[in-house]
Structure 1
């Protein structure tokens, strides 16, 4: 029962912070709310007793990625951030809502077609050992994740370099 209550609290924190992250007009507040989302996801990992994944979530995403965003925000001059409040247009809200409903419908149809919900509801007889999860994260075989991690690291490096180039162009003017 305590796990269910804790899951509810974490779910409310994650959903609320995610909504505030995309709805705020201040960029530093958005980065802060994103930090709370990532910490909430780490809390879910800890709740599932996946301490390695929870610690990796806190160290890599909540710590590393959020700091990259904060440093990128600080690299951009205050002049370029002033007056960047975007006005919300009704047409954009309607298009966003329509696309969200279409996306949700597609996800639900795929889940129902593949009978994912029925297999997910069936309780497994045994837990997945941590060694198997670790091998899936660092393996290069089919259904293993080392290549996506490498692509993400290259993408983050390109974002950092792009942020530095943009910041350097601002200083030369």
Structure 2
């Protein structure tokens, strides 16, 4: 078993366990947190496959934007339903353990892909597309174009903004 297989197994177990926890938990805030772990694990799988742009977009758009929007709307629409428990020590230790495991996974991905070496080296001219090529690829509707997903994400974000405004206006 090499390091790639080990990282895949770790990320797959993280995604599967977090997915199950998302569905099973009774607290909606915890479900959103577990969904965050699912999306971060999926981004880790993208990084492991070498799709760094897709992994970065997964983290920025979904793990960063959509989850924050979910949590904001959950907390805005419902009162505080969770009770403070006396098991703070268990929560602190488990949070610390999960943080160390997460840092280890991220560090291993950086080490496996040699991001430190790639950061120090400038890309060659043949590897870097021009701004014109990026714009044509992003907004072309033909084969290989990203116009439909771009529009779908923009409609999703617009719907989230309108829903947030409607919820806030009712209060």
* TM-score in terms of structure 1 length: 0.61
Q: Following the alignment from structure 1 to structure 2, what is the Cα–Cα distance between the partners of residues 144 and 41?
A: 23
Structure 2 residue aligned with 1:70: 71
Unaligned runs of 5+ residues in structure 2 are: 83-126
- Going from structure 1 to structure 2, the CA distance change for 1:9 and 1:136 (only over 3 Å counts) comes to farther
Residue 146 of structure 1 and its aligned partner are, at CA, apart by: 2.0
Q: Following the alignment from structure 2 to structure 1, what is the Cα–Cα distance between the partners of residues 160 and 153?
A: 10
Say yes or no: does 1:60 pair with 2:61: yes
User: Which contiguous aligned blocks of 4+ residues in structure 1 show a shift greater than 6 angstroms?
Assistant: none
Alignment coverage as a number of residue pairs: 121
Residue 52 of structure 1 and its aligned partner are, at CA, apart by: 1.5
Residue 137 of structure 1 and its aligned partner are, at CA, apart by: 5.7
Say yes or no: does 1:157 pair with 2:158: yes
Residue 130 of structure 1 and its aligned partner are, at CA, apart by: 9.2
- Going from structure 1 to structure 2, the CA distance change for 1:137 and 1:39 (only over 3 Å counts) comes to farther
Unaligned runs of 5+ residues in structure 1 are: 83-128
- Going from structure 1 to structure 2, the CA distance change for 1:144 and 1:165 (only over 3 Å counts) comes to same
Q: Over the residues paired in the alignment, what is the CA RMSD in angstroms?
A: 2.5
Q: Deviations over 1:38-89 (max 9, x none)?
A: 000110111112222111111111111111111111211417x68xxxxxxx
